[in-house]
Every structure is written in C-alpha cells, then in structure tokens.
Structure 1
Amino acid sequence: MFRIIASALLALYLLIVGLWPAAVAPVGLAFNGLGVVLAAIPGPVFLLAAVVVWFRHRNTQPATA
C-alpha cells in the first residue's frame, strides 16, 4: 500500500514540477507587458487621469433654494 501511495505522490510531484513553469510563463509575460506599458506612460498623465476621474465621479451636493 505504501508503494502505491509513494508512486502516486512521485507522479504528482513530477507532474507539478514539469508543468508549473509552462503554466506560469504566460502569466509572467502578461505582467512584464503590463510593466512595459505602465513604464511608457509618464507620471503626470496618470496624475491627470486620476484628477479627471475624481472630478467626474465625485458626489455633488444638491442645490437648495
């Protein structure tokens, strides 16, 4: 019984170790691409975008007469 469990765990270990780099590669490439895009945009553009979003989505008080 121990030999069956050990061989199943060995097979699972080899499957995980063998497939993990291939499964993580697209995620790493996506984060690298996102980093390149974010680095290409200047900081003041992000600041301007944040100000525009804040002005567009702030809560306005109703006018009272």
Structure 2
Amino acid sequence: MPDTRLPLRHVEHVMGTVLSFDIRDRSTGAIRSALDEAVRHLHHVVDRTAADPSRRSPPSP
C-alpha cells in the first residue's frame, strides 16, 4: 500500500538564504510545535552570531 501521508513543508528565509524543512509525516500539533521551535532556535542562533562578530567564521582565502 502506498504512503498517503502528506509531508509538512516549510520554507524559512534567513540571512539572505533559504532553508527548507520537509517533514514526511502527518502534521500533528506536536510536529508543528517542534517545527516552530526549530525555526525560533534557528533565528536565535543567527541573531546571536550576527550581533557578535567574534562568533563568525573567518572568510575563506
């Protein structure tokens, strides 16, 4: 029997690039909540890195 569950797809724009989440399971409240938390954490990390230049990687030669 084929898998008929619809994936949960989410696209997030962060610092000039795009990240995508493709969750291959039925979208439940718990999964949606976990995705929301992942997006919040992503922005938190990016905001901290952008705010503190010492956390950035040196440019490649």
TM over 0.5: no
TM-score of the two chains, using structure 2 as the length reference: 0.39
| Higher share of residues assigned strand | 2
Report which of the two has the higher share of helix. 1
- Of structures 1 and 2, the one with the larger relative CO (CA 8 A, separation 6+) is 2
TM-score, normalised to structure 1, is 0.38
